[in-house]
Amino acid sequence: MKHFHVIAFLLFCNLHAQCVYGQQADTAQFPAHFSASWIAPPRVSLQDYGVYHFRRMLHLQRLPKSFVVQVSADNRYQLYVNGHNVTSGPQRSDVAHWHYETLDLRPYLQSGTNVIAATVWNQGRYRAWAQLSLQTGFWMDGALRSDTSWRVLNDTAYTPLTEGAHITGPFEALDAAQYPWNWQQPGYDDQAWPHAILSEKAIPAGNAPAGTRGLLARNIPLPENTPQHFARIRRHTGVNVTDTFLQGGHAFTVPAHTQATLLIDQGTLTTAYPELLISGGKAATITLSYAEALTDDKTHQKGNRNEIDGKSLHGNKDRFVADGGNNRLFRPLYYRTFRYVEMQITTGMAPLLVKDLSSRFTAYPFVRQARFASSDTSLQALWDMSWRTSRLCAYETYMDCPYYEQLQYIGDTRIQALISLYTSGDARLMENAIRQFDQSRLSYGLTQSRYPSGQLQVIPPFSLFWILMLHDHWMLRDDPSFVTARLEGVRAVLDWHATYIDSTGMLGAMPHWNFVDWPAAWPWKGLDSLSGVPPSALTGHSAVLTLQYAYALQQAAILFRAAGDNNEATHCEALATGLNAATYRACWNAGKGLLADDPSQQQYSQHTNVMGVLSGAIPPSQQAALLQRMVQDTQLVQCTIYYRFYLVQAFKKAGLGEAYLDLLQPWRNMAAMGLTTFAERPEPTRSDCHAWSASPAYDLLATVCGISPSAAGFRQVRIAPALGSLQWVEGAMPHPRGLIEVRFEKKGNGLQGRITLPPGLSGVLTWKGQQVSLQPGTQTVHLAAAP
C-alpha cells in the first residue's frame, strides 16, 4: 500500500476579525490540575498568523494496552501518529472554556520508533469571526506530555491570500517546494528544528483567571469523516478528461506550457476536505475555487443551480505551486463548502499528472433515525433537503451557514436544535449551544446574538428565543437540572427587557439590533441596527417586539414554576398578560381584523399577527379566522423563510395544522430552482444553505405526523396528525425510550392509523375533536369523522 504525503493548506480573506482580551495573568501562582504545560514555537509572535509543525519521537519496546492523551491547541490543530491523520480540533468555544480532546492513540502505534506530530495554526488577524484565541500554543497531557523535548518548525511555505472578504477565516497560497514533506513520518530528520518553549500553565476551566485559557473536556463527539466522490465534470478546456477520472485510478496529464480548467460538480452541496493527488509538474500553479452555485455572466444572479451555460464560478480560492514530487496529496487544514469546484492549472516546463480529486465529508455526526413518507412523493425531496441543510449547518457548533459565516446564532439554532432532536435524538449539540449562549451573557444580562464570536453583536429578540430553546429542552429531554441551572440567565434577560416598558404598557425604543426577519419591506440598509427591523422597532412601541417578550415570559413562567419559584412564575405571567392587553388595546384594528405593527396603525405585517396568536394577545376565538385571512392578504409584510417557522406554529396553535402543506410553496420553489439545500431567503439570496430554512424536517414530523410532547421531559406524547391533502402519511421520530412510529391513512371521511410507542411512554391521539388514549406498544385506531 502506498503512503501518500499529506500537505495541508489554509484559505485567507481580508476581513480582519480580532478579539480583545485582557493581559495574560501570571499563572505560576495557581496549582496546575494538569501535569503538562502549554508549549509554543520560539522566536515568533504568538498572536500573528502562522502554521507550525510539532514533533515528538517516542520509542516503545512493546505496545501498551492503551495510550490515552488529552490534546488541544490554539487556534486549531491536526494530530498525526506515524503519518496517520488521527483527528482535528479543538472543539470551538471561548478562551474561558477551551476544550481538549481525549484520544487513545494505541491503534496507530507500533513497536520501536513512533512519531507523534501536530500541525498547529493561528489565523492571526485574518481569524474567523467564530474563532476565539489567546495565543499560539499546543498542549498534550496523559500518556505523553507537551514539554520542551518537542521540536517545532515554523512552516513558511504558507502565505496568506487576501482576495475577497470572508468571515470564516483565511484562505491560503502554498509553495510546495518549501514544505517539509514526510515530516509526520518516523524517518524524518528533525534535528535542525528548534525545541518548543513553555508558554503557560494548563489550568482547568473555572480556576483560570480572566484572560487565560481554562481547559475542559470535549462535550460533543468528533466530527464525521467520510470519503466521497464528485458526481461529474461539467466542462473542461485545455485538457481531455472524462468523468471516470472522478472515480479514482484514471489520471490525466496536463502538458507543459498549458492552461487547463475543469468545472466539477459534486451533485449536492457539501462540507468536506478536498483531496487532490498529483505528481510532477514542477512550478505548476493549481487553483481550486469553491462555490455553492454559479452566477449568470449577464444578470449576476444564480438562477437554476443545475444550469451552467453562460455562467461562471466566483468563489473562495486555494492556490499552490507544485514542487515536482511524486504522489503529493494536497488537503486543506480546514474543510470547505461547495457544490461546484473549478480547478485551474497552469503548467511550466514540466507536465503535471493529476491522479485524483475527491473529498472527505465532515459535519457533526448526526445519524438520522427519523423517517417520513407520504402519498405526495414530492415531499420526499423537501425532507431530504431539510436534513442535508441541517447537517451542513452543524459542526463543532450549530451554524447559520457553512459557506459565508459559520456562526452560531440563536435565531437559527433554536430551529436547528428542534430538528436535531426530532430527526436524530442527539441533544448534545443543543446543550452545548445553550451553555455557550449562557456563557456569552453581557454584564447587563442579555446574551450575545451569536457565540462564540470575536465580533460583538446583540439582538435582544434572540436573547428571548434562547429562553424558548430552554423551554424546548425542558419539554423534549427529561433533565430538569440542566434547565434550572440557567434560570439566573433567563431572569437577567427578562429583567433587561422590563426596564424598557413605558407608560403605554408596551416596550419603548430599545438599543442594539432588534432584528425580526428579512422581508422586502425591511431590507438590508448597510447597517445591522437598521436592517430586518420594522420601523417601530427603531422608534418604540413595536407590537411584534412586545409580543415576543410576552411569549418568552410565558415560557419562562413554566420553567420557574417547575423549579419551585412560584413568585417569579406569577410575576412573569402577570407581566405577559399586561403586555398582551396593552398591545391589543393600542394596535388592534377592528375594521381590518388585524393587529397593526404599532399604535399608529399605519403598517401591518404577518409577523405581528403570528406573534399575537402565539402569545395569546389575539383572543382564541379570533385566531383561526385571522390567520386564514392574513395569508391571503398580500398587502401585509410577509414572513420570509425564517419567520415562517413561527407562522406554522401559530397555525398549529389555532387548530389549522391541516393547512401546513399549503405553506410549503417557498420550499417547493427552491427545489424547483435546483437547490440541494434550503436558502437564507427567497431569490435572490446570498446563502444557498441556511439553518433557519430547514424547518420542514421538524414540521413534517411535528405537524403532519403530529408528534409532540404533552408533558415535560417528553414523559407523555400527543399525536395530532394533520394530513391536509395527503391520502396517507407515515413517520418515525426518536424518543429517549425508543422510536415513536405512526402511519395514518384516510378512509372516506375517517382516519385509520397504526401507532407504536416505546416502553413506558403513553399519550393521546387527537383528531378532529376526538381523543384516543395511547399505551406503550403497537395499537391501531379507526376514527370516523364527526357528523
CATH code at 141? Answer: 2.60.120.260
Q: How confident is the model at residue 14 (pLDDT cuts 50, 70, 90)?
A: very low
List C-alpha distances in Å: 510 to 500, 540, 585: 7, 7, 21
Does 699 share its domain with 739? no
Does 143 share its domain with 265? no
CB-count exposure of residue 686 (10 Å: 0-12, 13-18, 19+)? middle
Question: Cis link prior to 452 (omega < 30° from 0)?
Answer: yes
Q: In this predicted model, what pLDDT tens digit does every residue of 112-124 receive, in sequence order? A: 999 999 999 999 9
Query: The cell 402565539 sits on which residue?
Result: 614
Q: In this predicted model, what pLDDT tens digit does every residue of 51-67 receive, in sequence order? A: 999 999 999 999 999 99
Instruction: State the average pLDDT for the chain.
Output: 94
Query: What is the phi/psi pair of residue 162, to 5°?
Result: -115, 25
- Residue 511 located in a structural domain: yes
Given a contact cutoff of 8 angstroms between Cβ atoms, the answer to whether 328 and 322 are in contact is yes
- Residue 632 located in a structural domain: yes
Query: The cell 472554556 sits on which residue?
Result: 97
> What is the distance between the alpha carbons of residues 618 and 639, in angstroms, rounded to a whole number?
18
Given a contact cutoff of 8 angstroms between Cβ atoms, the answer to whether 465 and 552 are in contact is yes
Which residues lie below 8 Å from residue 570, measured CB to CB, with a gap of 6+?
A: 557
Whether 11 has a pLDDT exceeding 60, the answer reads no
Query: The cell 398587502 sits on which residue?
Result: 635
pLDDT confidence of residue 787: 62
Q: In this predicted model, what pLDDT tens digit does every residue of 169-185 receive, in sequence order? A: 988 989 999 999 999 99
Whether 157 has a pLDDT exceeding 90, the answer reads yes
Query: The cell 474543510 sits on which residue?
Result: 335
List C-alpha distances in Å: 168 to 8, 17, 131, 337, 400: 17, 10, 9, 11, 12
Given a contact cutoff of 8 angstroms between Cβ atoms, the answer to whether 341 and 274 are in contact is yes
Mean per-residue pLDDT, 263-290 = 97
Q: Any idea what the CATH number is for the domain that residue 752 is in?
A: 2.60.420.10
* Widest Cα–Cα separation across the chain: 89
Count of other CB atoms within 10 angstroms of residue 771? 12
Range of the domain at 639: 392-704
The count of domains in the chain is 4
- Residue 483 located in a structural domain: yes
Given a contact cutoff of 8 angstroms between Cβ atoms, the answer to whether 117 and 184 are in contact is yes
Whether 606 has a pLDDT exceeding 80, the answer reads yes
Whether 6 has a pLDDT exceeding 60, the answer reads no
> What is the distance between the alpha carbons of residues 705 and 661, in angstroms, rounded to a whole number?
12
* Buried/exposed 71-82: b ≥16 CB within 10 Å, e otherwise: bbbbbbbbbbbb
- Residue 49 located in a structural domain: yes
Could you tell me which residue, 18 or 246, shows the higher pLDDT? 246
Q: Which of 509, 487, 488 is nearest to 497 (CA)?
A: 509
Given a contact cutoff of 8 angstroms between Cβ atoms, the answer to whether 164 and 98 are in contact is no
Does 582 share its domain with 501? yes
Whether 601 has a pLDDT exceeding 50, the answer reads yes
- Residue 385 located in a structural domain: no
The residue out of 654, 683, 704 marking a domain boundary is: 704
Beta strands in 587-667 (DSSP E): 588-589, 594-595
> What is the distance between the alpha carbons of residues 241 and 230, in angstroms, rounded to a whole number?
14
The residue out of 682, 704, 726 marking a domain boundary is: 704
pLDDT confidence of residue 165: 61
pLDDT confidence of residue 526: 87
Query: The cell 410553496 sits on which residue?
Result: 665
Q: How confident is the model at residue 22 (pLDDT cuts 50, 70, 90)?
A: very low
List C-alpha distances in Å: 46 to 138, 221, 265: 11, 29, 39
Whether 274 has a pLDDT exceeding 50, the answer reads yes
List C-alpha distances in Å: 165 to 169, 684, 777: 9, 20, 56
pTM, two decimals, is 0.94
Which residues lie below 8 Å from residue 499, measured CB to CB, with a gap of 6+?
A: none
- Residue 429 located in a structural domain: yes
Q: How confident is the model at residue 23 (pLDDT cuts 50, 70, 90)?
A: very low
Query: The cell 503535471 sits on which residue?
Result: 352
Q: In this predicted model, what pLDDT tens digit does every residue of 365-394 receive, in sequence order? A: 999 999 999 999 999 999 999 999 999 999
Does 265 share its domain with 193? no
- Residue 371 located in a structural domain: no
HSE-up (13 A, CA, CB side) for residue 209: 13
Does 213 share its domain with 235? no
pLDDT confidence of residue 160: 83
Q: How confident is the model at residue 163 (pLDDT cuts 50, 70, 90)?
A: confident
Query: What is the phi/psi pair of residue 155, to 5°?
Result: -85, 100
The residue out of 676, 704, 732 marking a domain boundary is: 704
> What is the distance between the alpha carbons of residues 690 and 385, in angstroms, rounded to a whole number?
11
Show the cell assigned to 593.
381584523
SS (H, E, C) 110-144: CCEEEEEEEEEEECHHHCCCCCCCCCCEEEEEECC
Query: The cell 492552461 sits on which residue?
Result: 259
Q: Which of 600, 468, 460, 597 is nearest to 529 (CA)?
A: 460
Count of other CB atoms within 10 angstroms of residue 253? 18
Which residues lie below 8 Å from residue 727, measured CB to CB, with a gap of 6+?
A: 375, 745, 746
> What is the distance between the alpha carbons of residues 469 and 467, in angstroms, rounded to a whole number?
5
Given a contact cutoff of 8 angstroms between Cβ atoms, the answer to whether 350 and 260 are in contact is no
- Sequential DSSP letters for 315-337: -EEEEEE--S-SSEEEEESS-EE
Which residues lie below 8 Å from residue 80, measured CB to CB, with a gap of 6+?
A: 86, 115, 116, 117, 118, 119, 184
pLDDT confidence of residue 170: 85
> What is the distance between the alpha carbons of residues 567 and 572, in angstroms, rounded to a whole number?
9
Helices marked H in 631-725: 644-653, 665-672, 696-699
Does 524 share its domain with 635? yes
Does 151 share its domain with 10? yes
Given a contact cutoff of 8 angstroms between Cβ atoms, the answer to whether 502 and 508 are in contact is yes
Does 469 share its domain with 535? yes
- Residue 588 located in a structural domain: yes
> What is the distance between the alpha carbons of residues 508 and 493, in angstroms, rounded to a whole number?
16
pLDDT confidence of residue 12: 27
- Sequential DSSP letters for 557-573: HHHHHHTT-HHHHHHHH
Sheet holding 716-719, edge to edge: 707-709, 716-719, 762-767, 770-774
Does 341 share its domain with 409? no
Does 211 share its domain with 230? no
Strands 37-40, 76-81: pairing is unpaired
Does 595 share its domain with 739? no
> What is the distance between the alpha carbons of residues 426 and 224, in angstroms, rounded to a whole number?
14
> What is the distance between the alpha carbons of residues 539 and 603, in angstroms, rounded to a whole number?
14
- The percent of residues above 90 in pLDDT, for the chain, comes to 91
Q: How confident is the model at residue 261 (pLDDT cuts 50, 70, 90)?
A: very high
Beta strands in 255-369 (DSSP E): 259-280, 285-291, 295-296, 311-312, 316-321, 328-332, 336-346, 352-361
Given a contact cutoff of 8 angstroms between Cβ atoms, the answer to whether 611 and 646 are in contact is yes
pLDDT confidence of residue 210: 87
Q: In this predicted model, what pLDDT tens digit does every residue of 201-211 receive, in sequence order? A: 999 998 888 88
Does 355 share its domain with 411? no
Q: In this predicted model, what pLDDT tens digit does every residue of 81-122 receive, in sequence order? A: 999 999 999 999 999 999 999 999 999 999 999 999 999 999
